[in-house]
Each structure stands twice: as C-alpha cells, then as structure tokens.
Amino acid sequence: MTQKIAVLPGDGIGPEVIQEGVKVLEATEDAVDGFKMDLEEFPYGANHYLETEELLPEEGLEEISKKDAVYLGALGDPRIPTGVLEQGILLKLRFYFDQYINLRPVKLYPTIPCPLAGKGPEDVNFDVVRENTEDFYVAIGGRAKGKTEEQLEISRSIFEAKFDLDIEVDKDEIAYQIGVISRKGAERAIRFAFDLANSKEQKRLVSVDKANVLSHSYSLWREVFEEVGEDFPDVETEFSFVDAITMWFVKSPEWYETLVTPNMFGDIITDLGAMIQGGLGLAPGGNINPEGVSMFEPIHGSAPKHAGNNVANPLATILAGQMMLDQLGEEKAAERIDQAVVDVLEEGEVRTKDIGGSSSTSEMGDAVAEKVREG
Ligand code: IPM
Ligand code: MG
C-alpha cells in the first residue's frame, strides 16, 4: 500500500529541516521492501499568507483529508502578529482533523549530552500523552469593559487584527479565557495513555493536573482517569500536580514511563521534556487521531533567526518522520530510521551545533539517510 503524505514545510527553518526529513523518508522507501509513499507539498505558512491573505483554505483541508498523514515543518514568522499562523494553520489542522492525542516521547539518545547531572539514556525515556483539543485551547474567552463594541470585535477576531492596533487603554478592562474538559475528550486521551502504559514493561501511568486549584475542570479529569483505570488493573497509577512534575522531571526522570495531561500543561512540560532529552533539536511529536489523519512535526518552532543558515538540527523532524511511519503501521521502516539515528550519533562524526558539533542541517540528513540505506 502506498502511504499518501501531505508535506507542509512551513516557515523559518521548517523547509530546511523538512527537506532532510523527506530525504530520510525517501531513503527508507528505497531500503525497506513494501514501503511506498506518495508525497504532496502544500505551501501554507507565512509567505503564502502574505502573498494571498489565505491561511488554510477549505480546499486545502479537503485535499489534505485525502492523505494518510501530514508531515509538518514549523510555523511562525516575525512579520506576522503572534498567534495568527499558530491558530490559523497549526491549531486549525489539529482541530479540523480532531487529532486528540499529542504524543511526545522524551527520549535521551546515546551520546547526547543531558543537562541533568548523572543521568543517561537509561534514565530519560518516557512518553507524554497530551490531550490536544480541549482545556485552554478551546478559544472560549473575551475581553470586557472599557472598549467600544467595534474595538472589541477587532481584538476578538485575531485573524483580521490590524497590524497597528491603536486602542485606548482603560484601567477597568478585564480579559478571561475558559478551560474546558469534557468527559469524552478526557476519556479518549486517558484511554490512549492507559493502553500505551499497559503495553510497556513498566506499567506506570502518571496523571498531571492542578486539581488542587483548578478544581472545576480537573476534578472531572481525575474522575475520568479513575474510571478508565478500572479497565487496566495491571497499570500502577499516580496523580501529580504540574508544578511538582517540573521538579520531578529534573530530579528523578527515571521514575516516569508514561504520563497523561490536559492540553496546556502538556504544552509546558514537554518543552521541559525536550530540554532533558538534549534540546529542542531532538524532540518530535505526533498529533494523532487514531481513526483519522494524523500530523507529525518537530516540537520546536520556526527559529527565524537561524532560517536559511543550514545549521538547525533536523533530527527532531527526522524522528517525527519515524513516528509517522510507526503510526501508519510501517514499523519496519520506522525502526530503520530510529536505528540509523542511533548509529550516526554513536559514530559521532556528524553532529550539529546544538549537540556540540559543526555539521550542517543537510550533512546530518545525508548521514542518517546513508545509514538507512546501509541498514
Ligand atoms: C506546541 C506549540 C503550539 C502549542 C503553539 C505554537 C500553538 O507550542 O506545539 O507545543 O501551544 O501547542
Ligand atoms: Mg509548545
């Protein structure tokens, strides 16, 4: 079967890292019998928006719907107000395709320097399952007091925001944003996490929340966690507050195998996770709808100041490609990429700047692709 993949290189370093990711996928196609792909590139991102005022049109979504997966570089550009591309493209894709799981493995690869003293690859190797459609990401909120209806309308519709807003300041103004947890939304993410935890040797699942303060929404989260847990008697469970988790990730990462958490905290703790696995250059993520179109991306952003310099580490994107193949059921091809990354790192000749070397983005891509071909 041919895997149809939509490729969205995006902005900043996105196109450079995606090019290397695609290079490695193509090498895998050559090396692994029976694995075939058909890639189609889509232009959505900053340049396309500036040229056409179009973020992600309905036709684009329809085309992407016909694919088996999406491979995304990065989005974000200093010429465009913050939030426009993120909400109009990245979050739009996550929501449109109902990618309700954001799976973020935190895995320290061999030879990668870990900023935690005395910790190595055997200590840092866990999965964060981040709920990906709810919580504070539902965009329910508003601003009130002190503005005319017309001014409010402009603030609300961030996509149409004028670049030079000049709204009078009123000291009484308030803003509010609501976090939503639904029973269904929590259940599907938590069940996915229990399944994952149950498939591992060390069956431990930690739920991360802040139910001591945000007790309306996260008490429902906890209730659902306990209910679903009844179906998994072999999985040892634990609740942890998010502030404590930031401490424990640093102190005892070896305790963690699988974690599950609502959207916002998942966003935050996975940047911390990326650091303890050696930096953003190494952290991939999958936006997964197990029954639909999933999307894979490095969790880093577009890093505009490095764009065009061929210095960014493409490994996060290459590993996102590996996750994509795994999700598509191409386990053999996925395993080949993972092993190639390990081999290149262990040989140590090709290393990008962020991991203590001087190799370029494309040299790293070439090295991994070559290893994939060698097998
Ligand atoms: C991430 C990013 C996004 C998020 C932003 C860019 C909308 O930080 O993928 O972690 O908050 O999910
Ligand atoms: Mg983030």
The CB of 316 under 6 Å from ligand 1? The reply is no
Is 291 in the same domain as 259? no
- Residue 157 C-alpha from the chain's centroid: 25
Q: Which residues contact 238 (CB under 8 A, 6 or more apart)?
A: 204, 205, 206, 207
- Please give the C-alpha separations between residue 271 and each of 128, 142, 251, 353, in angstroms, as whole numbers: 11, 27, 16, 19
The DSSP code for 88 is: I
Give the model confidence (pLDDT) of 11-50 as tens digits: 999 999 999 999 999 999 999 999 999 999 999 999 999 9
Q: State yes or no: pLDDT of 156 exceeds 60.
A: no
Is 218 in the same domain as 161? no
Is 186 in the same domain as 252? yes
The CB of 257 under 6 Å from ligand 1? The reply is no
Give the model confidence (pLDDT) of 346-362 as tens digits: 999 999 999 999 999 99
Give the model confidence (pLDDT) of 167-199 as tens digits: 556 778 888 999 999 999 999 999 999 999 999
Residue 191 near residue 227, CB atoms below 8 Å? no
Is 175 in the same domain as 187? no
Give the model confidence (pLDDT) of 95-144 as tens digits: 999 999 999 999 999 999 999 999 999 999 999 999 999 999 999 998 78
Is 341 in the same domain as 250? no
Give residue 245's domain range: 113-134+181-276
Q: Is 276 helix (H, G, I), strand (E, B) or coil?
A: helix
Is 125 in the same domain as 209? yes
Residue 272 near residue 249, CB atoms below 8 Å? yes
Helix axes 331-347, 14-31, angle to 10 degrees: 110
The yes-or-no answer on residue 231 being catalytic is: no
The yes-or-no answer on residue 243 being catalytic is: yes
CATH code, domain carrying 99: 3.40.718.10
Is 58 in the same domain as 85? yes
Residue 274 near residue 282, CB atoms below 8 Å? yes
Is 122 in the same domain as 266? yes
Q: State yes or no: pLDDT of 81 exceeds 70.
A: yes
The yes-or-no answer on residue 107 being catalytic is: no
Q: How many CA atoms lie within 13 A of 89 on its CB side?
A: 29
| Centroid of ligand 2 to alpha carbon of 178 (angstroms) | 19
Measured from the Cα of 299, ligand 1's closest atom is 9
Given 179, 202, 235, the domain boundary residue is 179
Average pLDDT for the chain: 94
Q: State yes or no: pLDDT of 151 exceeds 70.
A: no
Q: In whole angstroms, give the CA distance from residue 179 to residue 138.
A: 7
